[in-house]
């Protein structure tokens, strides 16, 4: 075991703190119109996000203080707990339904999104299981298949909410972990084809998903309907130019762009801070990915390496998908931008994941 380092990875920590700071500022800027008109309080979403950020930072610091190999004991109980939440949220009268999606558990103003819990718990479990049984991975039935069954159960429950974007993101994360764990290329190839076919089938079987996909291909075919989100997002990004309209000066947040402080916050950021503001956010995510994979490659502990790969991939894929949607490069999925978008569950569990990465970085001999 490597000796403990007194300080975690500084670049990773700095990138995350900057992204979190930008996110809090942009949540306020993007939400102030909606907050004032609906709640008569322009600071409403800012205050909620700040509270969640403090809770998330507390969680991040807490997991940093637990020796990462002790996470192994938590892997199975945490996964069982997460699966229980995924089942409970689907029960009539218990799960909260918003815009046709039953994805939240809540008591009063407090809400929890179980899909955020399953993402981190599954990454932890996969790192534990793949490290423990890595010698079996060359075999499909007694190597990969048990892990794929667990993944399929998680994705199936998430699809019932319904939430295809999170299911695809979760599957992509596990796929990368299987690759990093040393799964056979042939198995990964056929698994990838099966996954693509499953996504295609999920799109075809649900009319609203098919409508979104067609809108992605040609948003101008229905500019006031299915293509509205994408068109307004592109308007926001295009009107920002190189330097932006200025913080707080967005035109699109005045009821033109829906979900402006959640899924489409990057569009408002691009409008107000311009190309350079958007580029800064992307660069910070690239630094995060670089340092995350650097940590994974710098440790000789297989469990720690896979855990770092999983957490890094989980956050990176969400960022890629969100920015891809906002720029019209991917169909609309409903995935938030990590550390930037408004949302308590996403923010807390993302920061918890960051804490795990920072924890592992303290045990490597060099960076």
Cis peptide before 237, with omega less than 30 degrees from 0? Answer: no
Residue of 316, 308, 367 whose CA lies nearest to 337: 316
Q: Which of 152-161, 206-215, 281-290 has the lowest mean pLDDT?
A: 206-215
Neighbouring residues of 186: CB distance < 8 A, sequence distance ≥ 6: none
Mean pLDDT for 176-184 is 95
- List phi, psi (to 5°) of 112: -135, 135
Q: Indicate the burial class of 43 (C-beta count within 10 angstroms; 0-12, 13-18, 19 or more).
A: middle
Q: Is the pLDDT of residue 237 over 90?
A: yes
Count CB neighbours of 91 within 10 A: 10
Confidence at residue 366, expressed as pLDDT on a 0 to 100 scale = 46
- Dihedral (CA of 323, 244, 340, 203) sign: negative
Confidence at residue 333, expressed as pLDDT on a 0 to 100 scale = 86
pLDDT for 67-93, tens place per residue?
899 999 999 999 999 999 999 999 888
In angstroms, the CA 254 to CA 245 distance is 14
Structure tokens that stand for 299 in this block: 């440790």
- List phi, psi (to 5°) of 234: -65, -35
Residue 258 pLDDT class (50, 70, 90 cuts): confident
Confidence at residue 7, expressed as pLDDT on a 0 to 100 scale = 84
Residue of 49, 95, 89 whose CA lies nearest to 337: 49
Looking at the chain, the whole-number percentage of residues with pLDDT higher than 70 is 97
In angstroms, the CA 173 to CA 167 distance is 10
Residue of 294, 314, 313 whose CA lies nearest to 358: 294
Mean pLDDT of the chain: 92
Confidence at residue 269, expressed as pLDDT on a 0 to 100 scale = 96
In angstroms, the CA 175 to CA 183 distance is 10
Confidence at residue 210, expressed as pLDDT on a 0 to 100 scale = 92
Residue 93 near residue 103, CB atoms below 8 Å: no
């Amino acid at each position: 075991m490597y000796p403990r380092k007194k300080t975690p990875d500084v670049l990773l920590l700095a990138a995350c703190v900057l992204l979190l700071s930008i996110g809090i500022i942009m949540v306020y800027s993007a939400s102030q119109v909606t907050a004032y008109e609906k709640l008569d309080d322009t600071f409403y979403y800012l205050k909620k996000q700040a509270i969640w950020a403090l809770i998330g930072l507390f969680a991040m610091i807490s997991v940093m203080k637990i020796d990462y190999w002790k996470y192994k004991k938590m892997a199975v109980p945490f996964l069982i707990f997460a699966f229980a939440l995924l089942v409970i949220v689907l029960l009539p009268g218990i799960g909260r339904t918003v815009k046709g999606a039953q994805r939240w558990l809540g008591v009063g103003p407090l809400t929890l999104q179980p899909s955020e819990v399953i993402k981190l718990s599954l990454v932890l479990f996969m790192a534990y299981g793949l490290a423990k049984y890595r010698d079996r991975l060359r075999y499909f039935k007694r190597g990969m298949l048990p892990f794929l069954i667990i993944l399929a159960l998680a994705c199936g429950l998430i699809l019932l909410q319904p939430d295809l974007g999170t299911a695809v993101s979760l599957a992509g994360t596990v796929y990368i972990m299987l690759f990093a764990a040393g799964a056979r290329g042939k198995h990964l190839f056929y698994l990838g084809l099966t996954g693509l076919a499953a996504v295609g089938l999920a799109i075809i079987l649900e009319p609203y998903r098919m409508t979104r996909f067609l809108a992605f291909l040609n948003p101008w075919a229905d500019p006031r309907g299915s293509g509205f989100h994408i068109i307004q997002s592109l308007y926001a990004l295009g009107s920002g130019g190189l330097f932006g309209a200025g913080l707080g000066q967005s035109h699109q947040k005045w009821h033109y762009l829906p979900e402006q402080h959640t899924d489409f916050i990057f569009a408002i950021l691009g409008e107000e801070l311009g190309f350079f503001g958007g580029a800064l956010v992307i660069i910070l995510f690239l630094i995060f990915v670089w340092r995350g994979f650097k940590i994974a490659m710098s440790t000789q502990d297989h469990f720690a390496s896979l855990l770092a790969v999983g957490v890094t991939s989980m956050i990176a894929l969400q960022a890629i998908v969100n920015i891809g949607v906002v720029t019209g490069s991917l169909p609309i999925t409903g995935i938030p931008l990590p550390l930037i978008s408004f949302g308590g569950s996403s923010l807390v569990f993302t920061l918890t994941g960051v804490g795990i990465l920072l924890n592992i970085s303290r045990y490597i001999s060099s960076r």
